[in-house]
């Protein structure tokens, strides 16, 4: 048999083994997202991700210099779009972040901080298949700039101050019911209305 033929057979055998391991994994552990992903799975998935991000993007350096304006804009953007999973402080300790499979990582920890600017940019723009991480990129110069601002913020997540976190809280999305209750409370405090009834807790 030709060398190419032998390699094709080896390739099919390798794919067969991997598919069997994956099928056995699902058969043994089921498809629930409740269990923490096994360490080996996390390590392999992150290693594969590192290899699959195009090298040219991974090497890219952040073209923006951090200024108070870019960081303020990034904090507002993060609080509005990212905090539901990642938390304002980036630690992933939210109802959604804790229960996704894989979990939203603690982005203040070295595993995230050691990713290059270009890798962070690529992940934000393109998302990560088979995880809760959406693709946010719109491939326009304005959108690229917003993503680079978010990369700046990720570098500073470990050093966010209480005042910055409080300001971010004001940008977190709230439900219509919560908004109405806040408005009612404002009217009540201004002496215009009866005290608001508490809203039902919701998921």
Instruction: Restricting to residues 18-77, name those near ligand HEC by CB under 6 A.
Output: 45
Greatest Cα-to-Cα distance within the chain, rounded to the nearest angstrom: 90
CA angle 153, 156, 159 (to 5 degrees): 140
Among 66, 102, 137, 196, contact with ligand HEC (rule: CB under 6 A):
102
Alpha helices in the chain (DSSP H): 3-29, 39-52, 55-58, 68-81, 83-86, 95-99, 110-113, 117-126, 141-156, 162-169, 176-189
**Binding-residue pattern over the window 114 to 133 for ligand HEC, x denoting contact by CB under 6 A:** -x----x--xx---x--xxx
Q: Which stretch binds ligand HEC (CB under 6 A): 21-29, 101-109, 176-184, 191-199?
A: 101-109
**Binding-residue pattern over the window 156 to 195 for ligand HEC, x denoting contact by CB under 6 A:** ----------------------------------------
DSSP designation for 170? T
Minimum CB distance to ligand HEC smaller for 41 or for 167: 41
CA dihedral 137, 138, 139, 145 (to 10 degrees): -70
Q: Which residues bind ligand HEC (CB under 6 A)?
A: 45, 81-82, 84-86, 96, 100, 102, 104-105, 107, 111-112, 115, 120, 123-124, 128, 131-134, 136, 150, 154
């Amino acid at each position: 048999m030709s060398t190419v033929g032998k390699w094709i057979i080896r390739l099919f055998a390798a794919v067969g083994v991997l598919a069997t391991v994956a099928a056995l994994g699902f058969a043994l552990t089921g498809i629930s997202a409740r269990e923490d992903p096994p360490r080996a799975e996390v390590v392999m998935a992150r290693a594969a991700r590192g290899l699959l991000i195009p090298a040219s993007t991974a090497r890219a350096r952040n073209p923006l210099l951090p200024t108070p304006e870019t960081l303020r804009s990034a904090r507002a953007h993060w609080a509005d779009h990212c905090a539901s999973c990642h938390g304002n402080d980036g630690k992933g300790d939210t109802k959604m972040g804790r229960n996704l499979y894989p979990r939203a990582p603690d982005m203040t920890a070295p595993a995230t901080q050691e990713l290059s600017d270009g890798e962070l940019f690529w992940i934000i723009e393109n998302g990560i298949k088979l995880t809760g991480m959406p693709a946010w990129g719109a491939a326009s110069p304005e959108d690229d700039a917003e993503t680079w601002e978010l990369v700046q913020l990720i570098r500073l997540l470990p050093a966010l101050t209480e005042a910055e976190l409080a300001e971010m809280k004001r940008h977190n999305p709230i439900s219509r019911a919560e908004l109405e209750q806040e408005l009612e409370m404002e009217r009540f405090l201004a002496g215009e209305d009866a005290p608001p009834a508490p809203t039902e807790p919701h998921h």
